[in-house]
Amino acid sequence: MPVANPELIEVKLSDLSKQFELLKSQVRQAQQLTGLGTAAATIVHEVNNLLTPVLAYAEYAQSSDDVALMKKAISVTAKNTRMLVRMSQRVLEISSASPACHGAVRLRRVVDDAIESLCRDLSKDGIESTIDVDGSVEVWGDHLQLQQVVFNLLLNAREAMVAQNGGRLTISARRDDDQVVLTIHNTGPAIPPEVLPNIFDLLQSTKPSKRSGQKRCGGLGLALCRDLVEENGGTIKATSDDSRGTCFALHLPASKPQP
């Protein structure tokens, strides 16, 4: 039998490794865009809300010689355009495939950026929000990756509570030895107990199909959350019941892990 060439095998393994990393990156990008797809209708609605008064003021000012009204039109246009630019920046951030850059991250800023990425005031959906995350609390990780995790969890929480016409969202953080525990709790319907143990599995879902009532494969968001949290040296767990709702707990390193 011919003897395999070790150098050729090594080259092929290297090529396969590069192809795997490329595919992994492409899948990650698709998973990130899944969250934006879920939020698309809400984002479009908010964009329309910002553009409608701009158009109304502009058209009325065009047909009038009222200088005060023209100034008002310009003021509203500038204000709403700044908000649209900010919204666009958030969408671009959350969909980016930037290489991870780990360092000391202010957790409150991660939470605030994730909330802003929703592009909607949750109170409009009857959701009361409480954020108890001190601005000085830091974790070791990648800001955008952690923002993606919180964004996905907020999307799921909002969807669950909107289905029951509102609820309460509570986000808190506490130091636990060499870790920081970030909890995101919502009072939406509980995750079924038979689904909960595998909630972070790829393609797992708690969301019923509108057509058949059967569970559909929509769990890419939570699988991505688990992968990103683990890549940042942490763990994520979920608890859920009818009396307390659903809580996701992220255990993240408070400082740079020792090699």
Query: What does residue 148 show for φ and ψ, rounded to 5 degrees?
Result: -60, -40
pLDDT of residue 130 exceeding 90, the answer is yes
pLDDT of residue 185 exceeding 90, the answer is yes
Neighbours of 83 (CB within 10 A): 15
Q: Are 194 and 155 in contact (CB under 8 A)?
A: no
Poorest-confidence range of 61-65, 158-162, 168-172?
61-65
Mean pLDDT to the nearest integer, 225-251:
94
pLDDT value for 19 = 75
Chain segment 204-234, per-residue pLDDT in tens: 555 544 433 434 334 457 888 998 999 999 9
Residue 34 — pLDDT band, cuts 50, 70, 90?
A: low
The Cα 203–Cα 216 span in angstroms is 8
pLDDT value for 66 = 82
Length of the chain: 259
pLDDT of residue 166 exceeding 70, the answer is yes
3 state DSSP class of 240? strand
Comparing C-alpha atoms, which of 219, 249, 237 is closest to residue 159?
A: 219
The Cα 199–Cα 32 span in angstroms is 18
pLDDT of residue 151 exceeding 80, the answer is yes
Query: What does residue 173 show for φ and ψ, rounded to 5 degrees?
Result: -140, 145
The Cα 170–Cα 256 span in angstroms is 27
**Cα-trace Rg, the chain:** 22
pLDDT of residue 98 exceeding 80, the answer is no
Query: What does residue 145 show for φ and ψ, rounded to 5 degrees?
Result: -65, -45
Q: Are 53 and 77 in contact (CB under 8 A)?
A: no
pLDDT value for 161 = 94
For the chain, what percent of residues have pLDDT higher than 70? 82
pLDDT value for 119 = 83
- Strand-by-strand arrangement of the 245-253 sheet: 127-132, 167-176, 179-186, 245-253, 235-241
pTM, to two decimals: 0.73
Higher pLDDT, 195 or 62: 195
Question: Which stretches of 134-219 are DSSP H helices?
Answer: 143-162
Mean pLDDT to the nearest integer, 57-83:
82
The Cα 69–Cα 62 span in angstroms is 10
Domains located in the chain, CATH noted: 8-95 (1.10.287), 103-253 (3.30.565.10)
- Give CA angle at 41 (40, 46), nearest 5°: 95
